[in-house]
Amino acid sequence: MDYINLNGKITGRKETGLPLDNGAFRYGYGLFETMLVKDGVIRLSAFHWERLFSGLKQLYFELPTRFTPEWLEKQVMATVAKNKAGSVCRVRLQVFAGGGGIFSPESEKPGFIIECFPVETESTELNENGLITGLATGLSKSMDNLANLKSCNALIYVMAGRQAKKNKWNDAIICNTQGNIIETCIANIFWIKNKDIYTPPLSEGCVAGTMRRHILNHLPGIHEKSLERDELYLADEVFFTNAIKGIKWVAKVENNSYSSKMIKEIYRHCFA
């Protein structure tokens, strides 16, 4: 896609430049939302805006009066329209801190950039061939107050992704500092045992995923509990969720294989 939106101005990708002292570049100080736009509508938009603005408040951003969910949504859709991508595309909205040092008041003023990327419709549907994955090693995520944010400080996910590529996995599973499984490089994780559905609670340190929230709203009987490795290995079914790809069946975690019978029912129920 040829056009991006930087602080409300849509320009050609090649002509856009970011200041070197912006907070995201220097400190990972910022948040981002990855959204699916389909047929001119942002899927799960209310969840995206609620998560973003809650996170901006938590990170002490000082927001201008015009900086509202409604205004940002108009900026997103204007960028999508400029790229002629309204039928289906992935949008990445990043809000970053202003210039200056750690203690500078300028850093509390937000900037933003909106990018559009093509998406194959098939990639948003339930997969027929299950994902192959494994556990990232040498990495663990803290369960602090920032853990649930979709932060620009994403080095742990990049490193887990490198391990996935090296091992020829579709994704890599990440544990917290207590050794419990919490999420993957790009998704939340659910598992099924004896027809009961489970997912780690946010207190374990996983990102507060919008698709995770959508699934919980549509299937109120889901249990939130810590996930130890042995329990995952003994599960009947496993699936990942994220805002772009929806629900993805996991066929194998290391040497453990899983079916997809209930996952197909869940997919139909949540996306009917």
Phi, psi of 120, rounded to the nearest 5 degrees: -80, 130
Alpha helices by DSSP H, listed for the chain, are 23-27, 45-58, 69-82, 155-167, 210-218, 229-233, 261-270
Q: What is the pLDDT of residues 156-171, one digit of tens each?
A: 999 999 999 999 999 9
The pLDDT tens digits of the residues spanning 178-208 come to 999 999 999 999 999 999 999 999 999 999 9
Single pTM value for the model: 0.92
Q: Which two tokens stand for residue 95?
A: 């809000």
Tell me the average pLDDT across 103-132: 87
Q: Which residues have a Cβ under 8 Å from the Cβ of 2 and sit 6 or more positions away?
A: 12, 13, 83
> Does residue 228 carry a pLDDT above 80?
yes
CB-CB neighbours of 258 under 10 Å: 21
175, HSE (Cβ side, Cα atoms, 13 Å)? 16
pLDDT (average), residues 46-50: 98
Each residue of 1-25: pLDDT tens digit? Answer: 778 888 888 888 777 676 666 667 7
According to the model, what pLDDT value does residue 22 have?
66
pLDDT value at 26 more than 80: no
- Write phi, then psi, for 175 (nearest 5 degrees): -105, 160
Instruction: Please give the mean pLDDT across all residues of the chain.
Output: 92
Residue 98 vs residue 134, higher pLDDT: 134
Q: Can you give the pLDDT at residue 87?
A: 87
247 CB neighbour count, 10 Å cutoff = 23
State the Cα–Cα distance between residues 235 and 78, nearest whole angstrom.
Answer: 44
Of 217 and 23, which is predicted with more confidence? 217
Sign of the torsion angle spanned by Cα atoms 65, 243, 32, 209: positive
Residue of higher predicted confidence among 121 and 163: 163
Which pLDDT band holds residue 127 (cuts at 50, 70, 90)?
very high
d(CA 46, CA 216): 15
Banded pLDDT at 244 (limits 50, 70, 90): very high
Indicate left, alpha or beta for 128 from its phi (over 0: left) and psi (-120 to 50: alpha).
Answer: alpha
CA–CA distance from 161 to each of 67, 75, 156 (Å)? 33, 30, 9
In this structure, of 53-62, 79-88, 228-237, the range with the lowest mean pLDDT score is 79-88
| Tokens representing residue 195 in the block | 């027809």
Residue 52 confidence (pLDDT) above 80: yes
pLDDT of the residue at 177: 97
Q: Alpha carbon 74 to chain centroid distance?
A: 21
Q: Given this model, what pLDDT does residue 23 score?
A: 65
Domains and CATH numbers, the chain: 3-119 (3.30.470.10), 131-270 (3.20.10.10)
pLDDT, tens digit, 9 for 90 and up, residues 63-91: 999 999 999 999 999 999 999 987 899 99
Residues 240, 236, 217, 70: what is their CA dihedral angle, to the nearest 10 degrees?
0
DSSP label of 36: E
Q: Tokens in use for 155?
A: 């080095």
- Output the pLDDT for position 106: 66
Beta carbons of 245 and 187 less than 8 angstroms apart: yes
Residue with the two structure tokens 């990942």: 240
